[in-house]
Chains A and B, each alone.
Chain A
Amino acid sequence: MQNARSDPSKPARFWLALILPMWVVFAIPVFAADKPLIAVASSLNGVIGPISQGFALHTGQQVRVSFGASGSLTRQIVQGAPFELFLSADKSYVDILIDNGLAATSSEIYATGRLVLFVPDNSPLPGNPALAELPSALEDGRLQRLAIANPEHAPYGRAARDALQFLGLWQTIQGKLLFGENVAQAAQFTTSGADAGIVSLSIAQDLASSGQGTYILLPESWHQPLHHYMVLLSPAGKVARAFYDYLKQSGAQQIFRKFGFSTPTPSQ
């Protein structure tokens, strides 16, 4: 085995080995510049994957997605996070960005969510629930814990509150509510100890298909509509804009519907 000190080519190889990875690391942003960062509300967890795959097939371009609660994402964007497109779960957060002059366009609806009552498998409530059951279940104590997203800041939480107020149950159910930070956590609570939960249709479909429980749609008239607004942000580049357009086209819209969202009619 050759002594490292005696071999004149060794030092050169050592420095090359050191510099090469650094170059790769620093060069990555250059390569990634064509893959814009998209901020997506976590209630769109399941649906974005197939949509971006469709986008890639269609245009050959790719996007990078960052999930979070709408509120968190908004705050990050305000702080300067390099997102180029924001898919929110409601209007208010998008408006904040517009008010702060961070948007490149005005906001548009890309999908509308639906609320459901989800009953997990091991719940004292019966499967395939009838909504009329709710008040009696409350009264006789079968419903001890109902999970919803936090109405203070989560769009699906606000809608859940609307629905409960509509049913006149909001006051009586106070001590029995569990608040998830977002609708995804509300769903998680539902499957890990709550007796039932009010979550989004897309999440409920997902849970039901894996056999974790059953659900029933809440009528849209019981709550403010869950319009999902999106907005292009100032740094938006070509690919981001292309993705923005793609979301409004029939291919993407079909996928939204498949995942339990309703889609805007052309006039909206």
Chain B
Amino acid sequence: MDWLAFSLSLQLAAWTTIVLIPIAVVVARVIAWRRFAAKGFIEALVALPLVLPPTVLGYYMLTVFSKNSLLGGAYQSLFNQSLAFSFEGLLLASLVINIPFAIQPMQRAFEAMPGELREAAWCSGLSRWQTFLRIEFPLAWTGILTAAVLTFAHTLGEFGVVLMVGGNIPGETKTIAIAIYDRVQAFDDRQAATMSALLLMFSFVAIGVIYFVNDRFKQRFH
């Protein structure tokens, strides 16, 4: 049981969720409520990581992270370490991969809210921020929770991209999914089985939480 890899996976999942969710809230709200010409285009962009194989994403990450690229070079000069093969690089890749998991559930939740509710709040004297806190958030929180849990669980299981750009460094980029793969390659079935069972249980609980919460919440208003 590679606890270091498991702890690394948890950290990656936690950081991805913490960073991505607030950004996704803002973006999801805009997409849900503003009418603008490029809306379909933006929605397609958001959905793109869902349909691209991890190898495509991995390839682009490698290109973008390399010292010769704009981003990679800038990072190198700022922090004096390479973006590729680092936890930060993995985090960045993870943020990109999880965009649809974070944005789409929230977007649905915001879209399900009639626009007139916000207008009624404004006309009742609530500022935009108060409207978000007291009206929008309580009505959309299941969407936000779903987004958070999905992002967390999906990052825990992320394999293809990590395999391609991580470098398999223990404590830095060797996540539990990679650890399982290595154990399988080395014919260490016992370890592989233990770690797989743990990951399976974790993911099942996470998904179970989403469905349970969504179910209970739905009952309240009907």
Contacts and interface: CB of A to CB of B under 8 A. Distances in A.
Determine whether A and B are in direct contact in the complex, meaning some CB atoms lie less than 8 angstroms apart.
yes
Interface of A: 69, 71-72, 74-75, 96, 122, 144-145, 147, 150, 152-154, 175, 177-181, 189, 192-194
Given A193-B67, A193-B84, A96 B187 contact: yes
Contacts of A154: 185
A177 B169 contact: yes
A193 B183 CA distance: 26
Contact of B168 (A69, A175, A179): A179
Contacts of B163: 181
Contact of A75 (B72, B82, B84, B184): B184
B169 A178 contact: yes
B182 A193 contact: no
Given A153-B182, A178-B168, A179-B168, A193 B187 contact: no
Contacts of A145: 82, 85, 167
Given A71-B186, A153-B182, A181-B185, A144 B81 contact: yes
B187 A75 contact: yes
A74 B186 CA distance: 10
Contacts of A179: 167-169, 174
Nearest to B83: A193
B219 to A, nearest CB: 47
Given A122-B67, A178-B167, A180-B168, A193 B82 contact: yes
A189 B182 contact: no
A125 to B, nearest CB: 14
Interface string B142-165: 000000000000000000000100
B90 interface: no
A177 B72 CA distance: 20
Contacts of A152: 182-183, 185-186
A266 B65 CA distance: 49
Q: 3 tightest A-B contacts by CB?
A: A71-B185, A179-B168, A178-B167
Nearest to A141: B80
Contacts of B184: 71, 75
A122 B76 CA distance: 14
A251 to B, nearest CB: 33
Contacts of A69: 185
